[in-house]
Structure 1
Amino acid sequence: MIEMQAPQAPCRKAAIFGASGGIGAALVELLAGRGTQVLAGSRSGKAPDMAGVTPFTFDLDDEASIAAAAASWADDPPDLVLVTTGVLTLADGTGPERSFKQLDADVMARVLHLNAIGPALVAKHVLPLLPRDRRSVFAALSARVGSIGDNRIGGWHSYRASKAALNMLVRNFAIELGRTHKQAVVAALHPGTVDTGLSEPFQANVPEGQLQLPARAAQHLLDVIDGLTPEDSGQQFDWKGERIAP
């Protein structure tokens, strides 16, 4: 559990990669509502029509689009970057495998790309922009099922493996960035089960009271982010602020 710290200085400018998703859109609205300048990224370029929100386009399948977005911020970079993209069921309806007998190389590669490689490419281009003279945060949405130590039932092979890979990348980035950005935080965040398209096919199995609306999940995530310090960098936390085992 994150210990209570003195309030962190609020972020001045945030970039959300995945602003058209349920959690991403809710984060855009909450951040803009508290006076943060928000860069809201999606493939469509659409964003909530709010004061202080500037849309941008990017595609995880097109690294050049990520690089172009980051380059445009070089003179006035964000101090908070959130990657809220992710996939559990592919666009063609292919869902998580329940057995190793269902493994498919193309499916595994696609899930790994969207859940780990894509966020890593975002990090490649935005981490060098983060300010060195004050606190900054880079956070990516992960999942508790990416924890190797917490895995008790197996299954969901590609999804688990992709999130475990993301968690390792977050750890690597935290170590490297910490050498030059002493006040920076790099973290993976588990939002819980949220009422979005990602979880919709599996909501029937969610215990009563554990399904969160996007706005509530976004508020929990911002509360966690606000409490993170450089000592927490490289770790994964759930929406309650509790550290998740690697």
Structure 2
Amino acid sequence: MKKPFFLIFLFFISLSAAGIYLYSPMKIEKIEIKLDKNLWGKEISEAISGSINLNSTVDEVKLEEIKEFLEKLPWVKSASVSFLKGTLNINIKEEPVKLCILSGNTTYNVGENGYLLAKRKELCKKINSYFYKGRSDFFTMETTGYLKVKNSILLEIELISTYLSKNNIIKEKPEILLTDTGVKLLYPENKIIVFLGNGGESWQNFKKLFRILDKPYSGYYDLRFSGLLIKEGEEK
């Protein structure tokens, strides 16, 4: 009777040891990162190097914390994390560049999340680009510690995109200049400059005005305010 009891005892001891091995924290010996587009390897690696260290312990809770940390980075759309045989495996879907903003001599790459991702001109070849000129910066520092385009600027860009894609009343593709008080649309061929404010009301005034006119007249149209103001307007 003693031998079966002894075998059962050994079985439970082995089971407990296996449980301790599986669920106790283990050390990170190696970190492998896989990116879907290889756009932001440098930026992501620098962020990880300051927060995830070799020889640090890891368990299921830590893996979830690492995933949440990665998905708060501006360059990360989504992430999955796993740990096997001392290797921390990180798979990242990168944040794409939605648009570029040119200010001064600097080109800024902006993600779909509104964050400034980098300053690389080569990423703007097939992306919508906008010029910015204003007294204040077009971006702000978030609580995350990263720079993000101001909501007012993002709203103007959204309105511009909607307007140009659906109802470009003046049959000419404009040059677009963003400012801290609105947006300027420059139509060189028609010799027209339209200044629109932050918000949808001035855009509505823009549509109404050029529907009333039988043809575009060259001039400077300031529609930032509720009252219509036309400067230097003349028949073309």
Q: TM-score, normalised by structure 2?
A: 0.25
Larger strand proportion, structure 1 or 2? 2
Larger helix proportion, structure 1 or 2? 1
Higher normalized contact order (CA 8 Å, seq sep 6+, divided by chain length): 1
Q: TM-score, normalised by structure 1?
A: 0.24
